[in-house]
């Protein structure tokens, strides 16, 4: 929720011409936040269904992909079947960027 409130991903995507859709207040309160709490409580499998439901709702509203922009959300989504649309895992993206950066530093 903090990353969403900071508009971290929205700002970067909007600068590149993308329109961003985000979960509404009810989706956050009823599904996303409780799912994050489940991941934090090591009940990861229980987080999948509500997170997948919100991702599907975003796609139904016109999203072309879903950014899993929180530490816990990718873990919850990974606990179930792959979603049938593009999903960007922020943890994965950060790790890949760090590896590329470290490789570049080592080469310099």
CB 57 within 8 A of CB 31: no
CB 76 within 8 A of CB 51: yes
Determine the Cα–Cα distance for residues 55 and 82; give it in Å rounded to an integer. 12
CB 77 within 8 A of CB 51: yes
CB 50 within 8 A of CB 34: yes
Instruction: Give the Å distances, CA to CA, from 58 to 44, 62, 87.
Output: 21, 7, 12
Q: Which of 49, 50, 85, 55 is nearest to 69 (CA)?
A: 55
Determine the Cα–Cα distance for residues 64 and 80; give it in Å rounded to an integer. 21
**CATH number, domain with residue 47:** 3.40.50.1860
pTM across the whole model: 0.88
In 20-71, the DSSP E strands lie at 66-68
Higher-pLDDT residue of 108 and 82 is 82
List, for residues 46-103, the tens digit of each pLDDT value.
999 999 999 999 999 999 999 999 899 999 999 999 999 999 998 899 899 999 999 8
> In the chain, how many domains are there?
1
Domain of 29 in residue numbering reads as 2-107
């Amino acid at each position: 929720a903090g990353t969403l409130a900071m508009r971290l991903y929205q700002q970067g995507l909007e600068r590149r011409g993308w329109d961003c859709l985000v979960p509404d207040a009810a989706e956050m309160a009823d599904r996303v936040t409780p799912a994050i709490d489940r991941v934090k409580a090591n009940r990861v499998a229980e987080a999948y269904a509500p997170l997948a439901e919100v991702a599907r709702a975003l796609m139904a509203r016109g999203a072309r992909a879903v950014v899993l922009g929180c530490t816990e959300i990718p873990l919850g989504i990974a606990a179930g079947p792959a979603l049938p649309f593009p999903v960007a895992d922020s943890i994965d993206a950060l790790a890949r960027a760090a590896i590329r950066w470290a490789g570049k530093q080592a080469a310099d």
